[in-house]
Amino acid sequence: MELFTIKKQMKKVSILHISDIHKASDMSLNNLMRSLIRDRERWDEEGIRRPDYIVLSGDVIQGGKTEEEMSGQYEEAEEFLSNLCNEFLCGCRERMIIVPGNHDVSWPQCGNCMEEVEVNDTTIKLYRQHSEENPLRWKWDERKLFRINSKDSYAHRFDRFVEFYNRFFKDIREFPSNPEQEAYCIAFLEDKICFACFNSCSQNDHLNDAGAIHKDAIYSIDDELERYYGIGMLPIGVWHHNAYGDPYKSDYMSKAILDKLLEHHIKIGLFGHQHKSQIAEEYSDLLYPEDKRNRMLLVSSGTLFGGDSEQHKGIRRQYNIIEMELENGHADVSIHVREDGNDDIFSDDPYWRARSLPGGAIRYQVKTKEVSEREILLRIDKDTREKKDYVYGIKALRSADLKNEGARLMMNDYLTKLDSKTILTILSEPEEENHCFLLIAAIDKEHDVEAFERLKNSQILQQSIEKDATLREQFMSLANKF
């Protein structure tokens, strides 16, 4: 019997994908918020699912000439994003995903870390040696060569972004301690998706605008991606820079990075930077284009609130809503592009509407790993015991919704490995008789009155104590203490 069926296991989720906020000093983020709330009513009219997640793929701020100016912009952005979470995610910040963009890098800090070096055959040769660790930078307008003179100080160019990020997600998650060489993975087992979050600004500074994801960052979450992909989840990559670009520009990522992401099971890539919504397909091997397992759907969002200096000629402000229906082995994706229809394209008050697309949306099928119940059980048990992460194992089993004896026995075994506080957190009510024994012991140890009231009113408990004298005796002993 297969694990997923249309009636029981189809998962529907929606992602609000925004990027490149680029608020100018004379613009009001309150107006932007009101415009998005108004557009939400049009989503309802058009049958578009309200978002379960929000992805902001970089350029949270416009950037500034001083650290103080950047900090002020982050304070404004934080208030806007808080309101966005409250309005569209019922305040659930766990479901907001944010990565840095090139405008989030501190140019003042970069400038303080560089010194001019002599231009000669030796330094030019070193400059042309393209590598992730190359400390040399060329400044075209002055025809001068500069060297990063302090790697430690240079690494602090992400500090303002990290401070904002850790403040916004306080008690939820923290940005990696090494912003250049570490990525992070955020999994939502109940929806069968995980977000692989990358910093594509790993080499960015005021003299180097090329996008790049450090190879170590991709490998840093290799085990997690393998684990989630192995149980049939959909890995979604999030970064800032676009791949490919104009012939006379360098501010984009190499295709080799996309190949590496494909090798690590990234099936959808969400990014921004180019200030226009665009949907493309990436192959890992053109020799086998019919093999959809080796393809990636690339989705770019336009600038959300950019002014005249940020908007390309003929391109309006844009954002995306991405709807997905996930089944065993694939996800059906619908991408809706929303576009500012205001006659004044630089207006402080956008008027969002659907961009004209064939059929109203771009539709695409993403292939994921097709898994059987047996494969799911074996994979969950292997990962759980290797990591000794029994909470993960319980959540994974619940998300898979397996209804067989093997899954039940695994669940009970994992529960016995937990301390009493964790049991009360993860098992609010008993699902079978064995859980009653565990909850009685945990409630007794923690003296948790609320948990006792929940257990007392449980139908499972009432049915079980009528048949089991030992359970009845233990519960009455607990009741006497309350």
Same domain, 243 and 178: yes
Supply the pLDDT for residue 18: 98
Same domain, 379 and 311: no
Express each pLDDT in 428-457 by its tens digit: 889 999 999 999 999 999 999 999 999 999
3 state DSSP class of 230: helix
Spatial contact of 259 and 219, defined as CB atoms under 8 Å apart: no
| Percentage of residues in the chain having pLDDT higher than 70 | 96
Q: Is residue 290 part of a domain?
A: yes
8 pLDDT more than 50: no
User: pLDDT averaged over the chain?
Assistant: 91
Same domain, 312 and 290: yes
Which among 333, 367, 401 is the end of a domain? 367
Lowest mean pLDDT among 218-222, 282-286, 476-480: 282-286
135 pLDDT more than 70: yes
Same domain, 363 and 378: no
Q: What's the angle, vertex CA 71, arms to CA 68 and CA 74, rounded to 5? A: 155
State the average pLDDT over residues 138-164: 94
Lowest mean pLDDT among 35-39, 80-84, 291-295: 291-295
State the average pLDDT over residues 235-247: 92
Q: What single letter denotes the amino acid at residue 238?
A: V
Q: Is residue 477 part of a domain?
A: yes
Which among 319, 344, 367 is the end of a domain? 367
309 pLDDT more than 80: no
259 pLDDT more than 80: yes
148 pLDDT more than 80: yes
Same domain, 399 and 347: no
Same domain, 409 and 461: yes
State the average pLDDT over residues 369-397: 92
Q: Is residue 251 part of a domain?
A: yes
Closest to 238 in 3D by CA, of 57, 81, 373: 57
Same domain, 353 and 395: no
369 pLDDT more than 50: yes
| pLDDT confidence bin for 356, thresholds 50/70/90 | confident
Across 232-241, 347-356, 394-403, the highest mean pLDDT is recorded for: 232-241
289 pLDDT more than 60: no
User: Residue 247 sits in a domain of what CATH number?
Assistant: 3.60.21.10
State the average pLDDT over residues 296-302: 96
Closest to 320 in 3D by CA, of 274, 278, 266: 278
Pairing of strands 295-300, 278-283: antiparallel
Supply the pLDDT for residue 245: 83
Q: Is residue 116 part of a domain?
A: no
Supply the pLDDT for residue 314: 80
Closest to 82 in 3D by CA, of 160, 9, 169: 169
Same domain, 400 and 251: no
96 pLDDT more than 80: yes
Supply the pLDDT for residue 131: 75
Using CA atoms, how far residue 280 sits from 136, 244, 283, 448, in Å, is 34, 11, 10, 54
Q: Is residue 1 part of a domain?
A: no
351 pLDDT more than 80: yes
Supply the pLDDT for residue 308: 79
Strand order in the sheet with 144-148: 114-117, 144-148, 136-139
Same domain, 403 and 349: no
| Percentage of residues in the chain having pLDDT higher than 90 | 77
Give how many domains the chain has, as a whole number.
2
Tokens of 134: 């190359």
5 pLDDT more than 50: no
Same domain, 392 and 432: yes
Q: Is residue 444 part of a domain?
A: yes
6 pLDDT more than 70: no
249 pLDDT more than 90: no
Supply the pLDDT for residue 286: 59
Quote the domain boundaries for residue 383.
373-481
Q: Is residue 138 part of a domain?
A: no
State the average pLDDT over residues 3-26: 76
Tokens of 236: 């979604």
Pairing of strands 53-57, 96-99: parallel
Rounded to 5 degrees, φ, ψ at 332 are -90, 120
How much is the pTM? 0.88
State the average pLDDT over residues 384-389: 93
Q: E strands within 341-454?
A: 352-354, 362-367
State the average pLDDT over residues 253-268: 93
Same domain, 461 and 389: yes
Which among 367, 388, 408 is the end of a domain? 367
Supply the pLDDT for residue 285: 61
Same domain, 359 and 381: no
Q: Is residue 29 part of a domain?
A: yes
Distance CA 13, CA 43 (A): 15
Lowest mean pLDDT among 56-60, 229-233, 267-271: 229-233
Q: Is 194 left (phi over 0), alpha (psi -120 to 50) or beta?
A: beta
88 pLDDT more than 80: yes
